[in-house]
Amino acid sequence: MSDVPKQAKVVVIGAGIVGNCLVGHLARLGWTDMVLIDKGSLPNPGGSTGHASNFIFPTDHNKEMAMLTLASQKQYIELGMNNTCGGIEVARKPERLEEFNRRMTSAKSWGIDARLLTPAEVKELVPFINEKIVLGGFYTPSVSVVDSLQTGTLMRESAVKSGGLKILANTEVLDLEVENGAIKAVVTNKGRIEAQHVVVACGVWSPRIAAMAGASIPLTPAVHQMADVGPIDILQQSNAEVAYPIVRDMDTFCYERQTAGSMEVGSYAHRAIFMHPNDIPSIEAAALSPTELPLTQEDFDPQMEQAIELMGMLGDAEIKYAINGLLSLTPDGMPVLGETIEVKNLWSAAAVWIKEGPGIAQLVAEWMTYGYPHLCDPHSSDISRFYPHERTEHHIYARCNEHFNKTYGIVHPREQWGTQREMRRSPF
């Protein structure tokens, strides 16, 4: 109990990629008297950061997300945690080639080096691919693999070295106290901490933690299936963690990413599988970790067959490890950032993926320090974009169910949502 400070300027809940980078950026901006809390052990407390695929494709049609991703990649490079390997998105359908032309426009607009490839050029870069079923590719040389756990450790340690951070691992948050509409304190199983600011950076647990203060963070934990397939001879012969470009098979909603002598196959093609934040297993009850659930094989089999069609060598290997990994999904696919609508000085830094994590941490740190972020305009990820009816579980699940299979989908720039229509209607 004596190790828990009685008060702090800011308490950050969650030691994943966002929480760790956030305390690092706050320290750089002069913040002291900070506390970082996580229920798990460090460096891998059991959240989505621990099982993430850790690759970065920088091109996005949304300028804000592209800027955050580029800022994140810059930080990974500065920390020595970025391994550039290149990435190719392949098309099996003519419609996807049209989308690649549009992606090329976005890449050029945001200053990202990219080019279109013929099937033969795809084959040159990835010699084990079946170019006969590929119509073309979208190649980004700067695509990279990063080490998110080590990045978090370095950022966390930099805040400790500044003298401004106290770390409380293996510490559970039991309650958030509110007084006169503002955050007052964080109650843990080891003691109570009065705080001027509290940041909820808990990933899939964020709605559960925010609810303790009467606030809402509209996201749901969602399953993303992934499997490690190997050993594979050609990959073992490369003697590298990643020697070949990462491949995103966009029309099957799958990706293939080398992990030393194996290939990680990930899928967004399966049915949307959600889990309520209150139902996530505890650290003690989880077989692997709270966010690494047993694979539902029947959902993964069709995608594995398509992966084998693209890369025949996968059919000769075995699945060594496979999970239903939990990640955060929001009704519009964007992060949920900023001061919560219901409680003053209670901040959300949730629904963030590895590719934009450090950049979002920088943005939130600037926002908390100056009242607005310098990095970029956060309007499309600002938590205040959600109206009251859009923060209900009914709306969240309906929209997330519609959105999940659009992760690798072709989305028209003016495409309208099909669910939750006519929620607000004129009396006339």
Is a pLDDT exceeding 90 seen at residue 419?
A: no
Give the separation between CA 209 and CA 204, rounded to whole angstroms. 10
DSSP-derived 3-state class of residue 33: coil
Mind listing the pLDDT tens digit for each residue in 126-182?
A: 999 999 999 999 999 999 999 999 999 999 999 999 999 999 999 999 999 999 999
Query: 406 pLDDT band (50/70/90 cuts)?
Result: confident
pTM of the model: 0.95
**pLDDT for 226-276, tens place per residue?**
999 999 999 999 999 999 999 999 999 999 999 999 999 999 999 999 999
Question: Average pLDDT of the chain?
Answer: 96
The partner residues of 350 in beta bridges, in order of sequence, read 336
Residue in 307, 304, 269 with CA at minimum distance from that of residue 405: 269
Write the DSSP string, 189-249: TTEEEEEEEEEE--GGGHHHHHHTTT-----EEEEEEEEEEE--HHHHHHTSS--S-EEEE
pLDDT higher than 60, residue 292: yes
Of 333, 315, 320, residue with least CA distance to 381? 333
Distance CA 227, CA 121 (A): 27
Of the candidate ranges 90-94, 107-111, 363-367, 416-420, the one whose mean pLDDT is the lowest: 416-420
Q: Are 251 and 91 in contact (CB under 8 A)?
A: yes
Report whether CATH 3.30.9.10 matches the domain 86-145+221-329. yes
Does the pLDDT at position 102 exceed 70?
A: yes
Please calculate the CA angle 122-124-129 and round it to the nearest 5 degrees.
60
Tokens of 31: 């913040």
Place of tokens 């990279």: 144
Q: Please write the tens of the pLDDT for every residue from 12-28.
A: 999 999 999 999 999 99
pLDDT at 186: 99
Question: In this predicted model, which residue has the larger pLDDT, 219 or 410?
Answer: 219
Query: Tokens 């300027």, residue?
Result: 9
Domain boundaries, the chain: 7-49+148-218+332-391, 86-145+221-329
Task: Write down the pLDDT at residue 423.
Answer: 77
Residue pair 26/206 in contact (Cβ under 8 Å)? The answer is no
DSSP state of 351: S
pLDDT per position as a tens digit, 329-341: 999 999 999 999 9
In this structure, what DSSP letter does residue 61 have?
A: S
- Could you count the other beta carbons within 10 Å of the beta carbon of residue 423? 9
Does residue 125 carry a pLDDT above 90? yes
Q: For residue 405, what pLDDT is reported?
A: 85
Write out pLDDT tens, residues 39-67.
999 999 999 999 999 999 999 999 999 99
Q: In this model, does residue 3 exceed pLDDT 90?
A: no
Q: What is the per-residue pLDDT for 107?
A: 98
Give yes or no for residue 314 having a pLDDT over 70.
yes
Three-state SS at 136: strand
Give residue-wise pLDDT tens across range 71-85: 999 999 999 999 999
pLDDT at 418 (0 to 100): 78
Q: Read off the pLDDT band of 1 (50, 70, 90).
A: very low
Q: Indicate whether 424 pLDDT > 80.
A: no
Domain 7-49+148-218+332-391: CATH superfamily, name plus number: FAD/NAD(P)-binding domain (3.50.50.60)
Distance of CA 40 to the CA centre of its chain: 19
H helices of 296-392, in order, are 297-310, 357-370
Calculate what percentage of the chain has a pLDDT beyond 70.
100
